[in-house]
């Protein structure tokens, strides 16, 4: 992995791992899949491809945050309305 991207990739990996703690199907399920997704792209050398991967990871992060929010919102709406 080229060094300018190294930090960025590790950062987003850590952030996703952090998010995974609350994943509905369990942390292990999430971590295994996350690890697989990252290791499948470990051989990338083209900076453009790596950036694309990081952008995808950022997108997944936003999706998971939205999933957690909706899950909580729906549970509370059901209970309090």
Cα 77 from Cα 24, distance rounded (Å): 19
Query: Measured over all CA atoms, what is the biggest interatomic distance in the chain, rounded to whole angstroms?
Result: 53
Confirm or reject binding of residue 78 to other proteins (CB under 8 A): no
- By beta-carbon proximity to other proteins, the closer residue of 28 and 72 is 72
Cα 25 from Cα 71, distance rounded (Å): 13
CB of 16 to other proteins, least distance (A): 9
- By beta-carbon proximity to other proteins, the closer residue of 23 and 41 is 23
- By beta-carbon proximity to other proteins, the closer residue of 15 and 51 is 15
Tell the residue number behind the tokens 């295994």, with chain if given: 32
Confirm or reject binding of residue 80 to other proteins (CB under 8 A): yes
DSSP helix, strand, coil percent of the chain (3-state; round to 5): 80, 0, 20
Residues 54-73 that bind other proteins (CB under 8 A): 65, 68-69, 71-73
């Amino acid at each position: 992995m080229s060094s300018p991207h190294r930090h960025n990739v590790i950062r987003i990996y850590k952030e996703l791992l952090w998010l995974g703690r609350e994943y509905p199907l369990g942390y292990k399920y999430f971590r295994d899949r996350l690890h697989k997704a990252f290791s499948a792209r470990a051989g990338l050398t083209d900076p453009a491809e790596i950036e694309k991967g990081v952008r995808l990871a950022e997108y997944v992060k936003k999706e998971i945050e939205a999933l957690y929010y909706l899950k909580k919102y729906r549970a509370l709406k059901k209970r309090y309305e």
